[in-house]
Amino acid sequence: MFLSRVALRNVRSIESLQLDFSSSSGDNRRWTLLLGENGCGKSSVLRAIALLLAGSDALADLLSEPDAWIRNGCQSCRIEASLTTARQEAREIALELHRGDRIRDIFDRNEASLNALDAAIHHADRNYFVLGYGVSRRPGGSSKGRASLSDEFIRSPRARGVATMFSADFSLVSLEQWAMDLDYRKGGRALQAVRTALDRLLPGMRFAHIDRETRQLVFETEDGLVPLRQLSDGYQNMAAWCGDLLYRITETFPDRKDPLATRGVLLIDELDLHLHPVWRRQLVEFLSATLPNFQFVATTHSALTAQQSGEGELYVIRREGQAKRPTLLPFVGEPRRMMLHQLLMSPMFGLDTLDSIEIEQARNAVRDLSLRKTALSAADKKELARLKALLRDAPDWDAVPGYAKEQTALLKGIKASLAKDGKPPALSVRKLKAAAKALGAPK
């Protein structure tokens, strides 16, 4: 099952929004990234999709306050979607909530749509498979002084797969406990999918083994063998999220030879949360390769993540018009063919300058003092001189840092050679090594 279209009306802050998932080839595209300032409704779009696809058994677990879904000043809201099944059959589903509704009222009003979805789910619980991760993706068994809820508090398995999107109190399934249980039940070969995924996702380390005496997962790092619990918070959070994802897929599809090759929808709020820039540039590729038949809908604030988008995959939700209503706008162009500063200066991010705040304020102050019609005081002249000195020391827009000059020269040479005869330039071994070093690649 893939999403073809989602439409929201009067859902939270959103008056009206429609998101089409069709690609230029006519198929349903795999990736959709949503940008936008906080409070514009990005998370609401993901939660609405999760709620709609969860089925009636999950509604009681996920809909704690139905009125909270309805836009202020409105009496009802509606979420609807068009789906395409694995057999390329079209399906239409919808969910409508009215202010003051009880769960029973919601079931009665949406009976036809819920019955159609439930029939498919009950035929096989893997149908319309959906997973979702909210901003709070805390490792299981590590609440750090805060109350934590686990799967046992949710009756519906489908609700468990999206629970962190609806409450920050839910933690992820413990990677250590699941890996040890998997190893106990099925042996070391069953851990291969976990090992492969973790090794690809966590750069600079490898999953070594399970220490059965201390009941810990151990990793090979630059500092030697280190238990998962002693890795940095960034590593632990990514390992926990990856582990929960693998757990839910493999437990839902236990009879599949390659469960990661199954179809489904993955919703991720703030895709690159806690990630170093190097990891952000690899995450989209990692997920695409690890889950080749999944459809991804995610939010981000990062230009590094947005830069990995293909044509038609990047959208921004921002407040438009006098009423400042959240509006969905597609990015025109192909971000992955743009340089990072070009993307940051595009209307998608809304930046007026790439200067630091200090330099931007200095430029504005110099302009204001220079345009002042009255004579400057001695203090003003002193301040103007100070600001001009500050701006003289600021880097020029076209300046190339020393560490990037060799890389820039190499890329220009390759481009010139390709433009000349359409063939890659012949490089000596020395130049190849220099190129690898300049580009940060292995020699």
3-state SS string over 14-80?
A: EEEEEEECECCCCCECCEEEEECCCCCCHHHHHHHHHHHHHCHHHHHHHCCCHHHHECCCCCEEEEE
Give the H/E segment covering residue 98: strand 90-98
Q: What is the pLDDT of residue 439?
A: 47
> 260 by DSSP, 3-state: which?
helix
- The answer on 382 and 315 residing in a single domain is no
Contact 414, 425 (CB under 8 A): yes
Asked whether residue 349 is assigned to any structural domain, the reply reads no
Do 101 and 150 lie in a common domain? yes
Residues 300 and 316 both lie in one domain: yes
User: Total structural domains in the chain?
Assistant: 4
C-alpha to C-alpha distance for 442 and 22, rounded to whole angstroms: 38
Q: Residue 286: what pLDDT?
A: 83
Please give the pLDDT value at position 190.
74
* pLDDT per residue rounded down to tens, the chain (443 residues): 789 999 999 999 999 999 999 887 778 899 999 998 888 899 999 999 999 998 888 888 898 889 999 999 999 999 999 988 777 888 899 999 999 999 999 999 999 988 888 887 776 656 688 999 998 877 765 444 444 456 667 778 888 899 999 988 888 888 888 888 888 887 777 788 778 878 877 777 899 989 988 889 999 998 899 998 898 877 888 888 888 888 888 888 877 777 788 889 999 999 887 777 777 877 888 889 888 999 999 999 888 888 888 889 999 998 888 888 999 999 888 888 888 877 877 777 777 777 788 888 888 898 888 888 888 899 988 988 998 888 888 776 655 556 555 666 666 666 676 666 655 555 554 554 555 554 444 44
Kindly state the greatest CA–CA separation across the chain. Answer: 84
Q: Classify residue 398: in a domain, yes or no.
A: no
Residue 336 lies in a domain: yes
Alpha-carbon span 163 to 134, nearest angstrom:
8
Between the CA of residue 355 and those of 57, 102, 363, 394, 396, what are the distances in Å? Answer: 52, 52, 10, 9, 10
State the DSSP H helix or E strand holding residue 270, giving kind and residue range, or none if neither.
none
Is residue 274 in some structural domain?
yes
Alpha-carbon gap, residue 434 to 148, rounded angstroms: 52
Q: What is the pLDDT, as a whole number, of residue 263?
A: 87
Asked whether residue 300 falls in the same domain as residue 369, the answer is: no
Residues 209, 125 within the same domain: no
pLDDT at residue 408, rounded to an integer: 63
CB 319, CB 325: distance < 8 Å: yes
Residues 230 and 273 reside in one and the same domain: no
User: What is the pLDDT, as a whole number, of residue 205?
Assistant: 83
Nearest alpha-carbon partner for 279 in 200, 215, 379, 392 = 200
Question: The tokens of 399 are what?
Answer: 């300046």
3-state secondary structure (DSSP) of residue 285: helix
Q: Please tell me the predicted confidence (pLDDT) of residue 170.
A: 84
Q: Alpha-carbon dihedral of residues 348, 350, 353, 357, nearest 10 degrees?
A: -130
Q: Say if residue 11 is in the same domain as residue 128.
A: yes
CATH of the domain at 148: 3.40.50.300
Do 315 and 326 reside in the same domain of the chain? yes
Contact 283/298 with Cβ under 8 angstroms?
Answer: no
Element (H, E) at 264: strand 264-268
Answer yes or no: do 369 and 420 share one domain.
no
Range of the domain at 148: 2-171+263-344
